[in-house]
Amino acid sequence: MKTLRDIAEKISRIYCPMTPRGIEDLSSILVPMKFQKGDTILNEGTVCRNLYFVEKGMVRQYYYKNNKDVTEHFSFEGRIVFCIESFLLQEPSRLIVEALENTLLYAIPYDGLGDLAVNNREIETLSRKILEHIAISSQRHADSQRFENASERYERLLREKPEIILRAPMVHIASFLQMTPETLSRVRGASVNPQ
């Protein structure tokens, strides 16, 4: 079984190399959390008090618009999920986070991260790198929605994050790509059987 230090080292490798002291400091605030498929990790109206590092499983972030649930983001092993506005402002979230599979997360608490960052520049840098990663990923997704057609959006997802295609329910993938399930089915068929 992995230790908290192992998880901190993994986070460091992915987001920002740190010294043993930085890794030790990060490991001191990690909180393991297990969720079953279908569990809600964060409810709408609740303050997002943690960054969540996904060690095992897959989660999605979504919201309701016109009585329909709209998938905004997927996270899986080696990724961070959190509601950025709620986390940074410590205000209630308009988003919901749900486990799509049995999931093991490691929570990085807002308060603990902030306290460490005051005295440890590495932790401050790690926080910034995580935010940069999330901001860039969010911008790329928004640009894809703005500038690419349905086929291009699907091909990009297939190329860049095939895990989502393989593991997430098609209804959520369609929502994420801003298309109907019927359009997604048509696009997938054309991708598999190009003329």
Q: Is residue 66 part of a domain?
A: yes
According to the model, what pLDDT value does residue 57 have? 98
Residue 192 lies in a domain: no
pLDDT in single tens digits along all 195 residues of the chain: 689 999 999 999 999 999 999 999 999 999 999 999 999 999 999 999 999 999 999 999 999 999 999 999 999 999 999 999 999 999 999 999 999 999 999 999 999 999 999 989 999 999 999 999 999 998 998 899 899 999 999 999 999 999 999 999 999 999 999 999 999 999 988 876 554
Does residue 40 lie within any of the structural domains?
Answer: yes
> What is the pLDDT at residue 190?
85
Radius of gyration, CA atoms only, the chain: 18
- pLDDT of res. 195: 47
* Residue ranges making up the domain that contains 51: 4-120
Instruction: For the chain, give percent helix, strand, coil, nearest 5.
Output: 50, 25, 25
Domain count, the chain: 1
* CATH code at position 97: 2.60.120.10
Residue 148 lies in a domain: no
88 neighbors 39 (Cβ within 8 angstroms):
no
Question: Is there a domain that residue 131 lies in?
Answer: no
**Residue 189: what pLDDT?**
86
Q: What is the pTM of this model?
A: 0.92
Domain assignment present for residue 126? The answer is no
The set of residues, in sequence order, having a beta carbon less than 8 Å from that of 179 and lying 6+ positions away, is 150, 153, 187
The beta-strand segments (E) located in the chain are 31-35, 40-42, 50-56, 58-65, 68-76, 80-81, 96-99, 103-109
